[in-house]
Structure 1
């Protein structure tokens, strides 16, 4: 289970809050979500320096080039250290309910790829059997990733759609954070300071 940290995770920083501090807070909260799950090995895949500071000892932090689109997704999956299945989770989803990650893994029981789509378009998380399929050319910000993946898949049941969620891509998205959910403590503290 990998958290994908890119510079765009800072894009939702509201005025008055340092973008680097915001990126670190949301990335750490998203990592804590993953690190707290049973039966997965957490990994951070990043093009942002210094992410070793947010992880628990022993968690791999894999650096990749600063890419975008499908090239970013392909490089992130290729950089994962091991496993037969993996979920790549965008770092700008610090309040994602863990149950949604479990549902993606469940969908992999019948499909090669499972998508947790983002509200307003894009992807929150992408689950896949490894190695990542060559036909699966999609980026996290593609408007309709499920449609794009199904159009390129060699079979009609190769791509599953899980429940959707939201990402923090602009300051106006901060109202989407669910104050009733546990977690996202670093983001919550930064925004309330």
Structure 2
């Protein structure tokens, strides 16, 4: 089986619900995503942050979790860190053959959705999961390592599967997997399902029972 890693990309979060401190909100989202990834089977997990956000990674990671400091919060920067492309060495960090980058603001993401993002890599070099709803953006990006040279620069807040497919030599080089919601604004709160397990930290903040450091 290919060696795989799933990386939570803890990018800046531009909003917080009324009455919730932005730092508490961002920390809760990140912690729930990291906790989810830690429960996945047959993959390693890691976190990626810019140097300015190293404090957030240190606050939410499990013991032994690898933290990648990247110059910008993009999937491309994470893939470069995984392959050593930053210094031109191209040495595989950890010997990974496949990697997925997951947005850090999807606290109730099912593990099955992550698995579906990785599954197409057995036959295709890249897979993307769009954000649920009508707005642009990606939930996650997965690729074989090293990533193909045709992969465009991706902004998780604005990229669309069609943009990636247009850059590929053949349309079939890209797989589009099931979508899921991210919490990018107040309207997204209605997408949270209280019946789903997990997302305990986000749930506690929204119910008014959570506090930083709890």
Do Structure 1 and Structure 2 share a fold, with TM-score over 0.5? yes
Q: Give the drift of 1:143.
A: 4.6
Provide the rounded CA distance (Å) in 1 between the counterparts of 2:164 and 2:59. Answer: 35
Equivalent residue, structure 2, for 1:148: 163
Q: Give the drift of 1:142.
A: 2.3
Alignment equivalent of 1:26, drawn from 7, 24, 29: 29
CA deviations over 1:142-180 (Å, ceiling 9, x no partner): 252x11111000122110010111111112211111111
Q: Give the drift of 1:139.
A: 1.9
Per chain length, whose mean CA-contact separation is higher, i.e. which structure has more relative contact order (CA < 8 Å, sep 6+)? Answer: 1
Equivalent residue, structure 2, for 1:104: 117
What is the RMSD of the two structures over their aligned residues, measured on CA atoms? 1.3
Equivalent residue, structure 2, for 1:79: 81
* Unmatched tracts of structure 2, length 5 or more: 1-5, 83-92, 209-214
* Secondary structure in structure 2 of the residue aligned to 1:100: helix
Structure with the greater alpha carbon radius of gyration = 2
Query: Number of aligned pairs?
Result: 186
Verify the 8 A CA contact 1:112 1:129 in the aligned structure 2.
yes
CA deviations over 1:16-60 (Å, ceiling 9, x no partner): 101111111000100111010011111000122311121111101
TM score, norm. by length of structure 1? 0.91
Verify the 8 A CA contact 1:12 1:174 in the aligned structure 2.
no
Provide the rounded CA distance (Å) in 2 between the counterparts of 1:45 and 1:132. Answer: 17
Q: Give the drift of 1:133.
A: 2.0
Provide the rounded CA distance (Å) in 1 between the counterparts of 2:37 and 2:126. Answer: 19
Equivalences for residues 56-95 of structure 1 within 5 A: 56-65=62-71, 67=72, 72-80=74-82, 81-82=93-94, 83-95=96-108
Equivalent residue, structure 2, for 1:123: 138
* Unmatched tracts of structure 1, length 5 or more: none
TM score, norm. by length of structure 2? 0.83
